[in-house]
Structure 1
Amino acid sequence: MTNSALENASQPVRPRDFYLGRQPVIDRQQALFGYELLFRSAARGSAEFGSGLAATAAVIAHTAQLGLEKVIGAAVGFINVDAEVLASDIFAFLPRDRVILELVGTVQATDALLARIAELAGHGFRFCAAGIASDTPNVQRLLPLVDFVKLDLHDMPQATLARLVPLWRRAGKKLVAEKVETREEYKLCMELGFDYFQGYHFAKPAVLGGRKLSPSQLAVVELMNMVTSDAENKVIEKAVKKDAALALNLLRLVNTPAVGARQRIDSLGQALMLLGRRQLQRWLQILLYAEPGARGHTLSPLLMLATTRGRLMELLAQRLRPGQRNLSEIAFTVGMMSLMDVLFEVRMDDLMEQIPMIDDVSEALLYRSGFFGELLKLAESIERMDDVAVEVAPTLKTLAISSDDLLDLEVAAFEWSDNVVRYAI
């Protein structure tokens, strides 16, 4: 990049003057494939910073300094780029095997741009064509150079989707359905033949009268009841030993970086002593979200979302109310429990009747009110990044926390969640 380009890159937005969000992209087996990284201006709350090169250069450079692997974990990252960005040399910041460059809909397939895409592809970068509404000559020129095609469900009628999907599948492209927000939309995209799905359909509760818990989940619930009723360690240890998978996962948990044990722990008794009751309750909450048949094989997007949300709320509480450990522990519980209606397929108010909670927790989960409710609203707003000016900015102001602090805590939560899920589950 030239000196003038670097100067331009630093002018429109301070390196840390932005909000960072990530939206999950999952595969046909409901396993996490990647994230689209979303950057929004903290000053203006918009999706645009000004010049595409200036904005993207500043953000990518800073994200690289933070450590992109902390943001996306073991997944891949979709990053939006335009023609100006592609003409720059900022790609030295990015791990080419972990990034998919998403061409925004305004990109025109000029000879120069096609040559640049081919050059970057030769260095190992992969591309996704996004913002496509029809099979135009511009799209036809881009198609041979991209691996993925992303279609916005809300931008085109179903008949158009049904016509374009087979066309691009025959061309060997991986198809990503964007803005999949309901189970009906997900089912439609599955039937049409999409490979990947971006959106929060998996985090929407489907109240079907209560789903039958797996034996593993029942064992975890029983243990949670023992912990909250102050059962003796020997009784808890005996219960854990009845479920071999649960015992194995508990030992994995105490030997991960997220716990920070100084030496290897090989017995359940040692594990229970090291964790303590509050930490044990936390890990049991996490284990509830783990798919019993998929541990160690796939990344559950719901588990990733719950652990990230819980950890971010915990870190926010620590920052805002230092020295009040009980508040940060409650914040983590609220974050984890905020998706249990999805997990168990029951209404949240019904869940609150079955699991006794203090008023602050119930009000946060049911009405998004109080201190923990504000933290939960902030975590949910960041996940979606739909309108940061209306949702994120006011909550930050209410909580008296800066966008700089929020970014630090987000990255820490991303990294912690990835460590827990990747190494322990």
Structure 2
Amino acid sequence: MFAFIARQPVLDREKEVFAYELIFRDGKNNCYPDDERDATTAKLIAKNYLHLGLDDISCNKKSFINFQPERVLQGFPPSLDPENVIVELYDGVFNHDSLLSICKHVNKMGFKLAIEDHRLDPKWNDFLPYIDMIKVNTTQSDYETVAKNVHRYKDTNVQLIAEKIETQQDFAIYKDMGFDYFQGYFFARPEAVSQKNLPTSKLTLVELMGASSSASFDIDSINGVIEHDVGLSYMLLRFINNPMINKRYKITSLRHALNYMGEVEIKKFIALLALANLSDDKPSELIHLSLVRAKFCDLVGIEKNLGSNPPLGFLVGLFSLLDALLDQDMRSLIDKLPLVDEVKIALCGGQNDLSMYLLLVKAFESGNWLKVIRLAKILEIDQKRLHSLFNEAIIWGNGVRKSISPHFPESKT
């Protein structure tokens, strides 16, 4: 059970998610929590709040989990599967021989092992038979030293992970150098700011986005737009029959689906559909991240008694990565789209309640717990409650993403 946790994607060379690194709030230095206080906290949260299992938080991908070396010597919890968990260790205060002994121990238990070092120091030569990956913090590394040493690790089949990759240029540099995986939010930034027009094929989606952002609503006109597009009709039925959305009825017709969902949920679906279909040739993690943000901001809005028509919190979270999806400056992009003023202000960096929700979800994503605490006080929402809402958003995003896109594998890779 993981109650207080953040996750950060680790992407491969094709910008698809290979794994998630898990960051624990209650563990020492964001490590896997293992002391008595953490165990007590876990039981309390499990009893009172929605909680996550490892498969929920990692979306059935592999998980990087950081352990204190002394915790490794005590043994791993039996719930951790060597097929799906990659043990991450920091050099820390352990001497060469002690750390080497720990690496041998992890290797013998069948877990893959990642070590963090920002210089690719030759001291790791003795460790190479027992480790699988080395993580390089690119903000602390010397480019020339790293480039000179890459071949030593490639020759021994040790994979290299570049951390703190925050721009598309950084990604290209370390990809060309030969790195295998990349960690950072470079994929959530525009590749190049350009002033291109939306394709004509997207006009229907833009029309529907306008409906999702409007307080007025005409179900007949929405039905007319969707029923003339086979793809939209299929997506609507697939969405409404997802167990995360509808656990009681089997929906078979377009009109039945629209009537069952109701105005607010239709608006959310329209926004989801528009975003999913505007994201050609983009990493699927962008849509996944947008889904979690949408649900979290929506839940915070409900907690703060924000009106739901239109679903402003949902729209702000969902469209918060539009600039990366369409490779346009957010401000110029928002001017082209039919969004209400409150949403536009938040998305363009202005200050209002909705912008506070965005800051909060970004703090959760990065594991910036001090910022979470500060924003919780400002919003006057209990921190444990916020963790519960974030967990709920993750579970919802995991389920809904399969309904709006065929690109998410269900099995572990």
Q: Distance between the aligned counterparts of 1:265 and 1:221, measured in 2?
A: 26
Aligned-pair distance for 1:52?
A: 7.9
- Which of 202, 209, 229 is 2:187 aligned to? 202
Percentage of matched positions with identical amino acids: 29
Q: Decide whether the 8 Å contact of 2:237 with 2:254 is kept in 1.
A: yes
Q: 2:60 maps to what in 1?
A: 74
Summarize the alignment of residues 376-387 of structure 1 with structure 2, pairs less than 5 Å apart: 376-386=358-368
Candidates 374, 379, 386, aligned match of 1:399: 379
SS at the partner of 2:128? helix
Contact 1:291 1:300 in 2 (8 A): no
Q: CA deviation at 1:261?
A: 4.4
Unaligned runs of 5+ in 1: 1-14
SS in 2 for 1:145: coil
Task: Flag the 1:50–1:346 CA change in 2: closer, same or farther, 3 A.
Answer: closer
Equivalent pair of 1:299/1:422 in contact (CA under 8 Å): no
Select 1:365's aligned residue among 347, 371, 378: 347
The SS at the match of 1:48 is helix
User: 1:151·1:178 contact (CA, 8 Å) conserved in 2?
Assistant: yes
2:323 equivalent among 317, 337, 341: 341
- 1:24/1:36 contact within 8 Å kept: yes
1:54 to 11, 14, 35: 35
What secondary structure, in the 3-state scheme, does the structure 1 residue paired with 2:81 have?
Answer: coil
CA contact (8 A) 1:177 1:189 kept: yes
**Structure 2 counterparts to residues 139-150 of structure 1, below 5 A:** 139-150=124-135
Match of 1:251 in 2: 237
TM-score for the superposition, normalised by structure 2 = 0.84
* Pairing partner for 1:85 from 52, 71, 74: 71
Q: Deviations over 1:61-101 (max 9, x none)?
A: 67997322222222222111121110123421323332211
Quick one: distance in 2 between partners of 1:102 and 1:56?
23
The Cα RMSD (Å) is 3.5
1:418 corresponds in structure 2 to 398
In structure 2, the residue matched to 1:326 is 308
TM-score under structure 1 length normalisation: 0.81
* 3-state DSSP of counterpart to 1:23: strand
Q: How far off is 1:36 after superposition?
A: 1.0
| Rounded Cα–Cα distance in structure 2 between residues aligned with 1:100 and 1:60 | 25
* Amino acid across the alignment from 1:101: V
Distance of 1:379 and 1:217 partners within structure 2? 29
Change (3 A) 1:228 1:198: closer
Distance 1:359 1:231 in 2: 18
Q: Deviations over 1:404-425 (max 9, x none)?
A: 1121111111111111113442
Q: 2:218, 2:176 → 1: CA distance? A: 51
- 1:97-116 to 2 correspondence within 5 Å? 97-106=83-92, 108=94, 114=100
1:11 maps to none
Counterparts of 1:306-321 in structure 2, within 5 Å, are 306-321=290-305
Give distance in 2, aligned partners of 1:278 and 1:320.
17
Contact in 1 for aligned 2:118/2:141 (Cα 8 Å):
no
Task: Choose from 176, 187, 205 the match for 2:161.
Answer: 176
Asked whether the equivalents of residues 212 and 270 of structure 2 are also in contact (C-alpha less than 8 Å), the reply is no
Distance 2:182 2:357 in 1: 28
Secondary structure in structure 1 of the residue aligned to 2:208: helix
2:147 is aligned with what amino acid?
A
Contact 1:289 1:302 in 2 (8 A): no
Aligned mates of 1:208, 1:50 — CA distance in 2: 38
Residues 1:221 and 2:203 aligned together: no
The answer for the alignment partner of 1:163 in structure 2 is: 148
Amino acid in the other structure paired with 1:420: V
**Which residue is equivalent to 1:7?**
none
Q: Deviations over 1:243-284 (max 9, x none)?
A: 444333222111112212412223223222222332222123
- 1:211-270 Cα shifts (integer Å, max 9, x gaps): 565676444223334566767545544533554443332221111122124122232232
